[in-house]
Structure 1
Amino acid sequence: MPEARLVLATRNAGKLRELRALLRDQVPGLDVDTQVIDAVAAGAPDVVAAGAPDVVESGVTFEENALLKAHAVAASTGIPAVADDSGLAVDVLGGAPGIFSARWSGRHGDDGANLRLLLGQLSDVPADRRAARFVCAAALALPGGAETVTRGELRGTLLAAPRGDGGFGYDPILQPEGLDRSCAELSADEKNSISHRSKAFRELLPALVEVLR
């Protein structure tokens, strides 16, 4: 079996599939299913353990947190590592919840509570002042310390109430610019074609290809 050449610092199988799909045709001879793996498969359960955060996200920007995770996994595995950090930035809130998006209500990963709190905070804000954007920073870290980080954004408007049952997080309340549906009402292919995460990883792709070649 070919040795792993790139590890993604995540427990999320969907993110791993997305990265493999981006790389599949970019590097001839690369077996993405065995050479592009997640951190658990790479033998880094201390960094990415079931039910636990990847690393302490002590950075104050998406870029800093993505780099923290990528460097932690690269150091633990000895393999070039990729990580991302993402969230929702609301203009009228000065960019909040930002890096605190996943724990805006006080408990990490409680999507329903986060949505309710944010919508309550914006209840008196008119539709023309509800601009917001999803932000993602994607980072590549090499075991020797070299790093590359990129950023992607998906701009839109926050709805007054959730719509749709797809996606996760704040997807039900962000309506992307130029569309009449929320992110949670888009198909997976539609969302992936415009998402902040796909934009960030496409920007990172040249650096990933260089490492894998």
Structure 2
Amino acid sequence: MRIVVATHNEGKLVEIRRIIADHVGLRSGGIDLVSAGSLGLPDPVETGTTFQENALLKARDVAARTGLPAMADDSGLIVDVMGGAPGILSARWSGVHGDDAANNRLLLAQLGDIPDDRRTARFRCAAALVVPDAQGNVPSASDPVSPPSYLVHPGFSLPCQIVAMGDMTGRVTTEPRGTNGFGYDPLFVPDEQEVDSGGTALTSAQMTSARKNAISHRGKAFVALAPAVVALLDLG
């Protein structure tokens, strides 16, 4: 079964593939995850005011264009002392969408005088799955949004749209560390990790993919969607 992931970020696609494979097991061989970018699809304009709205907007757009099930996520960094910013503007915080280095520099400058104990933050992710019906119809923004367990139980109907949430708490460092991952990963130190013997906690960008996926906001959200993906396989 082909599922289109609404992203032009191939690094994100690799991460989602790993998460789904880890939690679907042998059945992951029946899932062909491809990116919207590889199909030449445009990026929809993110007009939502929440992570959930933007994730569903992107998934609906791709499902409508392809007639295939589509997954999308919208995620960002929520910094407590900044009142929740950058939030849904995380990817374009510096003014240019996807310029990770510029976004990181600006965030560090804005937090320059903030002490370590007040640099608390969290990554938040909304992961959406939109499934069109046999005629390619997709839900609208006004249609109900179902929990991740929706497709698992008998009596569901198509088209449908499903959303799950995940958080990863931590703090923002004073300088970038590590080269893995993307976005604000070099600046973010997750709470949920073992500290090494030297007392140093890793940033997300210093972690292996497996270690990061086990605790990440994106991992938690897409793991919650995994039962619905399995149910789609059963639909054949």
The aligned residue for residue 189 of structure 1 is 210
The 1:77–1:173 alpha-carbon spacing in structure 2 relative to 1, beyond 3 Å, is: same
Q: CA RMSD in A?
A: 2.0
Q: TM-score, normalised by structure 1?
A: 0.85
Q: Percent identity?
A: 53
**Deviation, structure 1 residue 12:** 3.2
1:9-158 to structure 2, matched below 5 A, reads: 9-21=6-18, 22-23=20-21, 25-26=24-25, 28=27, 31-32=30-31, 35-39=32-36, 43=39, 45=40, 47-48=41-42, 54-143=43-132, 144-145=138-139, 146-158=160-172
C-alpha contact 1:91 1:132 (8 A) present in aligned 2: yes
Q: Could you tell me how far 1:135 is from its partner in structure 2?
A: 1.1
Provide the C-alpha distance between the structure 2 equivalents of 1:70 and 1:29, rounded to a whole number of angstroms. Answer: 20
TM-aligned CA deviation for residue 15 of structure 1: 3.5
Q: Using the TM superposition, give the Cα deviation of residue 129 of structure 1 relative to its aligned residue in structure 2, in angstroms.
A: 0.9
1:174 matches 2:195: no
User: How many aligned residue pairs are there?
Assistant: 200
Change (3 A) 1:157 1:208: same
Structure 1 unaligned blocks of 5 or more: 49-53
- TM-score computed with the length of structure 2 as normaliser: 0.77
- CA distance in 2 between counterparts of 1:121 and 1:15 reads 27
Q: Distance in 2 between matches of 1:81 and 1:150?
A: 14
Report which stretch shifted further, 64-73 or 157-166. 157-166
Larger RCO: Structure 1 or Structure 2 (Cα < 8 Å, ≥ 6 residues apart)?
A: 2
TM-superposed CA distance for 1:31, in Å, is 2.5
Q: Distance in 2 between matches of 1:29 and 1:151?
A: 22
How far the C-alpha of 1:40 sits from its partner, in A, is 5.0
| Cα distance change on mapping 1:70 and 1:107 into 2, 3 Å | same
Deviation (angstroms), 1:167: 1.7
SS of the residue aligned with 1:120? helix
Structure 2 residue ranges without an equivalent (≥5): 133-137, 140-159, 196-200
Distance change >3 Å, CA 29–CA 126, structure 1 → 2: closer
